[in-house]
Structures are given as structure tokens and as C-alpha cells.
A and B are shown apart, each in its own frame.
Chain A
């Protein structure tokens, strides 16, 4: 049975891809403003406080989170390798590395949950807790969405939606995943180092 598939010609595809890429980048910029707003507020509160952390608050331990960060950055590497695999039409390499990225992302989230459950500070207990849980919580939520995003593009890739020339969805997923990584660099530095 012959099936008809409507397919855009190259010029049109490039045009639509241009819109979507710019739109997605602008979305990521506005998302970074969301994080920046809370980061600025945290720095303000910290500068305005006579002592930091506030009395009764323990700064969380850096060791577990350092491991968790390596997991997340590792997932950025695997994401990059997956994209390389796709571009070179190495399908099994692509699938393997995407699955690895998803698993590493889930590992990161589990690590975060573990950290939350073993922290002495609470969300409402201090201004440190307020910003720590809100910012890392927002970030974790973004990672969770990212995991769903990756699962979706994996399914789409397996279904044949993308070609080695046309893979806008994969590009968007990669950008999003790297964005989540970059935000984590900032948060890690903010809460665990500075």
C-alpha cells in the first residue's frame, strides 16, 4: 500500500528550522532570567545578612553533591556523543548514549532527592533554605522535564522522524540539556563553594 508523506523542500525546512531555533534560544534566555532573578535575590540577602549562613543553618556538604555534579556533567558529555553518533548515522551509538544520558539524569535526580532528605535545613526554616530549595528545586524540575524531553526525542528518532540532515528536535533537546548543565554550574558554585 502506497502511503503519501508530505515533506517540506529543503528551503522551507531551513526556514522553519530557523524560526524554531531562534524561538527556542529566546525561550532559554527567558528561562535563564527566571533563575537569575532568584540568584540575584540570594546574593542580595546574603550581602545584607550580618552573618552567613544565618544562625542555626548548616551549609550542606560538598562531597555528595560533587559526585552528583560529575554525574550531571557526564550526562552532558554523553549527550554530545549521542549527537555525534546521530550526525554520523551511527544509530546504535546514538541510542546507547541517549539512554546513558537519560539514566545519568535520573541518577542526578535521585542524588538530589537523597540530599534533600538528609539535609537538616528546611525550605521555610531560613532564608538560606528558602533560596537553596527553591533554586535547586527549580533546577531539578527542569532536569525532570529534560528527561521527559529526551525520552520523547528518543522515541521520535526510533520512529524515523529525524534524518541525518533534519533533526531540529534533537538539536533543541541538546541545547536544553546543556542549558540545564550550565545552570547547575552556577548553582553548585553559589551554594556549595561560595
Chain B
């Protein structure tokens, strides 16, 4: 028997996959998987967005007749569940995490490519399961599905099953990314020479791997309770509804950081590129991401301040929630300082990033307003919270997603998106978004609570006219917001045939993904790069020993 020893797998380039199925359907290539995640997430974004437009149509009048109360409840439940689990988390982690992180660390793929592919293929069935529930009775109790009401309304079992599936996908992806960054960084890339998007990915992966396991446990428990009547949460059988709130939020608070940390990473990449200067406070941003990730496990009960918790329990949660605002503020100030004395090019990705900065700051401030227990008691479960969460998740994460899409589109597809269409998209989206969600703060404080199909009962005749008028205005803005997405869709489709072909580094950036062709070859790097220092020192030569300096930093866009 002859044994043939082969050289180090990291340097080894295996032959390319053959055939349509192997290359595009069950591909192990992280870049293909990333595109699969982004397309699937985009589809669910459209579906969940249409649900939101239906909801807004219903709310244009104080007692609307577009959707009955049952259908309205189903709409906001599936809208919320889909946006969290089928859009934002998959696009930011499975999409951008897969696309960018391995390239940025100089690797050829992730640590477990088969698991990566398996992880993706859990995603479409989970989404189909959730949306198919409309045929049999969709869940109605909101994306939080609190028992006992979730045990009395339909759709809970399907909801548990769908989210369980996507949770398994997220856990596997988290483990995969952690091992990849821990073990597969290019020679010379110490932790403090990593791009900030990789720092963000690592922290997010840690949250995904650890917190999602808890979600799986509680979904299984709710499922078992609904199907087999095992008493966990139903007080009729001795269970505790507040227990559900504790264990659900123990996952779901870290989940909101899973949804925003990658967007922070995207912002940290785009700002130095289009300011052509180093990011301000690299270490502060990197370490604050880790701090935010760790503290995110300690603040969950701020969602439960009206649930009858003892005062001595509420106090530490209030303090920690306020505390987590400090590292976030540090990042925001550092990002703004990156603009100072830069050479700014206000391209579409840069505009979305700047929009993020402004809107996320505002959302962060309303978050602090929610952290104070006495203030939260008035604001909880009203449209004030709806406004806050959309400022951070849409004004923050979704704007971050679009910033990333416009930024990495050339790398992904080899084509440039049209700048003019992009700017129209940004301005329309920015104005419509703020017009839609800013008034909601006020509506909430005055008495409009969440999850109501109509609001004719809770306002006196002197206020109702104004409230209805505001809701009408908000709905129109929401329709414009939805329409603005068509600009992106058209731009994206158009780029396939009419987009300008992109070279390796159209923006003149310095991280490793821009040192290979657009799109990259399936093996990423012919030769693994050797890293000599951090990536953001504009003005100095590229910090890679075996990469052509000509790929450097002359922007062509």
C-alpha cells in the first residue's frame, strides 16, 4: 500500500466543483453560501415588509377594516418573527459574515464548510414553515409569544418548530465562525491587526453559539407544553408565565445585539474607506464590542419591568442596561471622529453609514429612556417601544445591511451598482423612515399601545382626530419606505447587465477582501497573505508582505 503525504490543507487548493448543483445549490464555498443567505433573506424581507404595509394600511383609520383583528395579530407576529430570524440575523451573520470574514482574515474558507452548507439549508424550510402557518392559523401573540395567551391562540406549534430550526442554523454558524477566526487567521494577523468587522463577527458568533441554545430549550418547552400539556408556563397547571419571560429574554436580548453588532462592524469598515483615514479608536471600538457582547447577557429583565419583579431585582438590570450604553456611546463618538479631517467621499455606502450613525444614536438614546424603571413603566408596550426598536433595527441594522450591500456588491458580483439610483434610494429611505417612526414616540407616550388592530377606544374625542391623522401620515411614509426598496431591486437587477465591471479594489480600501479579484476565485487567495500591521493606515504602504502594492489604495469609484 503506497501512502502519499499531502501538504498543509490551508495552502492546498482542491480542484473546483463541477456542475450547477455542486457549484450553486449545495456549494461548500462560503461566498456562494453568503449569496444564498442574502437572496433568501431578501425574499423574506419583501414578504415581512408587505405584512408591515398591510398593518399600516389597517392603522390609517382609527377603526380600520383592511384586516380583521385575527389577521392583524397574525401579521405583526409573523412580521416581527420573520424580520428578526429570517431577515436580519441570517443576512448579517450567514450573509455578510460568510462573505467577508474569511476573506478579511486571509483564509480560503471557514473551518467547517459542510456544516456551513447544512446551516444554510435549514433556513428556507424554517421560513416556509413560518409563512405556511398562514394557511393553518398563524401565530398571533407577537414575536415574543408569551404564554398563557400563546397556549390559547393558534400557530404556536408551527412557530416553535420554525424558529427552532433557524436557531439550530444560527448555533452551528456561530461555532463555525468562532473556530474560523480563532484558528485560521493568516500568518501575522494578531487579534489587534484584525479588521473591525471580524471583531464584530467574533462577538456575534459567540452570542449566537451560546444564547441560541437557550432559545432552543425554551421553544422545545413551549412546544411540549402546547402539545403534551406538560406544565412549564401555564399557571393553570402550576407553571409560571413570568418564567417564560425570563428564559425567553435571556436569549432575545443577546439576539438584538446579534442583530446590530455586525452592522457596527460594517460601519467600522466603510468609514475609514470613504474617509481615507484610520478608524478613530480601533482598540476602543474592538473592546467595546466584546464588552457589549458580554453585558448583553446581564440585562434581559429590562423587558419585564412591569411583570411584578421585586425592586431589588429590577435595580441591577436598570443599572446594567444604562451601563451598556456607555461602550455604545464610545463607538458612536469614535465613528464621528473618524470623519474629522478625513477626505470624505459621500458615496451610497457612506451615506447609508452616516444615516446609521444618526439614527442609531437616536435609537440608543430612547433605549436609555427605556432603561429607567419609572420611565419604562409608562413607555412599556406602547408605540414608544415600537419606535425605539425600529430606530435601532431599521435605522440601525437595515441601513447597515444596505451600506454593506452597496459596499460589497462589486466584490460579490464583479459589477458596480449605479450611484445615482443608490443615492435616490438612500434619501427616499432616510426621509420616509424618519417620517414613519419619529411620530410613533409621541403616539406611544399619549396612549397608543402595541399590538392593536384599531385604536378608536383609547383616545378621547379631542385627541382621536390628531392621533388618526398622525397614523395616516405614518402609514403614507411607510408606503414610501416600502416603495424605496424598488429602487434597490431595480439597481441590483440592472447591474447584472448594465453595471460597470469592477476591478479588485474600486473603493481604494485596504482590507484583504479587496486584494483579490471581483468576484474572488473560489480559492480566494493563490498565496495566503502575510500580515504586517493593521489595515487602516491610509497613506502608508499596504501591510501585506506578498500582495501587490498596485492593488492599493487608488479609488476608481
Chain A interface (Cβ < 8 Å from any Cβ of B): 2-9, 11-12, 15-16, 18-19, 22-23, 26-27, 29-31, 33-34, 36-38, 40-41, 44-45, 48-49, 54, 123-124, 126-127, 129-131, 133-134
Contact call B247/A5, Cβ cutoff below 8 A: no
Complex contacts, A23 vs chain B, CB 8 Å? 111-112, 175-176, 179
- Which of B57-65, B211-219, B349-357 sits within the interface? B211-219
Contact call A9/B6, Cβ cutoff below 8 A: yes
Contact call A8/B238, Cβ cutoff below 8 A: no
Can you identify 10 A-B contacts, CB atoms within 8 angstroms?
A4-B3, A23-B179, A26-B174, A27-B175, A29-B209, A45-B240, A124-B231, A127-B239, A130-B231, A134-B230
Cross-chain contact of B238 among A7, A22, A127 (Cβ < 8 A): A127
Contacts A3-B2, A130-B232 given; indicate if A9 touches B7 (C-beta within 8 A).
yes
How many residues on B have C-beta within 8 angstroms of the other chain's C-beta atoms? 46
For the complex of A and B, the 5 pairs showing the least CB-CB separation, nearest first, are A37-B217, A33-B213, A30-B213, A26-B175, A19-B111
Contact call A33/B111, Cβ cutoff below 8 A: no
B193-245 interface with A by 8 A CB criterion: 209-214, 216-218, 221, 224, 228-232, 237-240, 243
Contacts A23-B112, A29-B209, A30-B213 given; indicate if A15 touches B8 (C-beta within 8 A).
yes
Rounded to whole angstroms, the CA-CA distance of A30 and B210 in the bound complex is: 5
Contact call B217/A9, Cβ cutoff below 8 A: no
Rounded to whole angstroms, the CA-CA distance of A45 and B235 in the bound complex is: 11
As a 0/1 sequence over residues 1 to 37 of chain B, the CB contacts with chain A under 8 angstroms (1 = contact) are 1111111111010000000000000000000000000
Complex contacts, B111 vs chain A, CB 8 Å? 19, 23
Contacts A26-B179, A130-B230 given; indicate if A19 touches B112 (C-beta within 8 A).
yes
Cross-chain contact of B5 among A8, A15, A129, A131 (Cβ < 8 A): A8
Task: Say yes or no for B477: interface residue by CB 8 A criterion.
Answer: no
Rounded to whole angstroms, the CA-CA distance of A114 and B247 in the bound complex is: 32
Contact call A45/B210, Cβ cutoff below 8 A: no
Rounded to whole angstroms, the CA-CA distance of A33 and B182 in the bound complex is: 21
Cross-chain contact of B2 among A4, A31, A38 (Cβ < 8 A): A4
Rounded to whole angstroms, the CA-CA distance of A21 and B10 in the bound complex is: 17
Nearest Cβ on chain B to A176's Cβ, whole angstroms: 15
Contacts A45-B240, A124-B231 given; indicate if A19 touches B4 (C-beta within 8 A).
no
Contact call B217/A38, Cβ cutoff below 8 A: yes
In terms of DSSP, what is the predominant structure of the interface of chain A?
helix
Residue ID in chain A nearest B9 by CB atoms: A12
Complex contacts, B211 vs chain A, CB 8 Å? 33
Complex contacts, A2 vs chain B, CB 8 Å? 1-2
Contacts A23-B176, A45-B243, A134-B230 given; indicate if A34 touches B214 (C-beta within 8 A).
yes
Cross-chain contact of B243 among A7, A11, A33, A41 (Cβ < 8 A): A41
B90-113 interface with A by 8 A CB criterion: 111-112
Cross-chain contact of A6 among B4, B184, B217 (Cβ < 8 A): B4
Contact call B246/A44, Cβ cutoff below 8 A: yes
In terms of DSSP, what is the predominant structure of the interface of chain B?
helix
Complex contacts, A12 vs chain B, CB 8 Å? 6-10, 12
Contacts A127-B231, A130-B232 given; indicate if A33 touches B210 (C-beta within 8 A).
yes
Rounded to whole angstroms, the CA-CA distance of A7 and B3 in the bound complex is: 7
Rounded to whole angstroms, the CA-CA distance of A102 and B167 in the bound complex is: 32
Contact call B231/A126, Cβ cutoff below 8 A: yes
Complex contacts, B171 vs chain A, CB 8 Å? 30
Contacts A3-B1, A7-B5 given; indicate if A123 touches B175 (C-beta within 8 A).
no
Residue ID in chain A nearest B172 by CB atoms: A27
Cross-chain contact of A31 among B3, B4, B213, B232 (Cβ < 8 A): B213
Task: Say yes or no for B178: interface residue by CB 8 A criterion.
Answer: yes
Rounded to whole angstroms, the CA-CA distance of A33 and B213 in the bound complex is: 6
Complex contacts, B178 vs chain A, CB 8 Å? 22, 26
Contact call A37/B218, Cβ cutoff below 8 A: yes
Rounded to whole angstroms, the CA-CA distance of A5 and B3 in the bound complex is: 5
Rounded to whole angstroms, the CA-CA distance of A22 and B1 in the bound complex is: 33
Residue ID in chain B nearest A23 by CB atoms: B179
Contacts A23-B175, A127-B231 given; indicate if A29 touches B246 (C-beta within 8 A).
no
Rounded to whole angstroms, the CA-CA distance of A27 and B212 in the bound complex is: 12
Complex contacts, B12 vs chain A, CB 8 Å? 12
Task: Say yes or no for B498: interface residue by CB 8 A criterion.
Answer: no
Contact call A8/B4, Cβ cutoff below 8 A: no
Nearest Cβ on chain B to A127's Cβ, whole angstroms: 5
Contact call B6/A8, Cβ cutoff below 8 A: yes
Cross-chain contact of A9 among B5, B209, B239 (Cβ < 8 A): B5
Nearest Cβ on chain A to B330's Cβ, whole angstroms: 29
Contact call B6/A6, Cβ cutoff below 8 A: yes
Complex contacts, B243 vs chain A, CB 8 Å? 41, 44-45, 48
Rounded to whole angstroms, the CA-CA distance of A120 and B41 in the bound complex is: 49
Complex contacts, A34 vs chain B, CB 8 Å? 213-214, 216-217
Residue ID in chain A nearest B180 by CB atoms: A19
Nearest Cβ on chain B to A41's Cβ, whole angstroms: 6
Nearest Cβ on chain A to B470's Cβ, whole angstroms: 42
Contact call B228/A123, Cβ cutoff below 8 A: yes
Residue ID in chain B nearest A55 by CB atoms: B238
Task: Say yes or no for B343: interface residue by CB 8 A criterion.
Answer: no
Rounded to whole angstroms, the CA-CA distance of A7 and B182 in the bound complex is: 25
Cross-chain contact of B209 among A26, A36, A129 (Cβ < 8 A): A26
Complex contacts, A36 vs chain B, CB 8 Å? 214
Complex contacts, B500 vs chain A, CB 8 Å? none
Rounded to whole angstroms, the CA-CA distance of A31 and B216 in the bound complex is: 10
Rounded to whole angstroms, the CA-CA distance of A34 and B239 in the bound complex is: 19
Task: Say yes or no for B183: interface residue by CB 8 A criterion.
Answer: yes
Rounded to whole angstroms, the CA-CA distance of A69 and B367 in the bound complex is: 49
Contact call B8/A37, Cβ cutoff below 8 A: no
Complex contacts, B218 vs chain A, CB 8 Å? 37
Contacts A19-B179, A22-B183, A23-B176 given; indicate if A44 touches B240 (C-beta within 8 A).
yes
Complex contacts, B231 vs chain A, CB 8 Å? 124, 126-127, 130
Residue ID in chain B nearest A126 by CB atoms: B238
Residue ID in chain B nearest A40 by CB atoms: B247
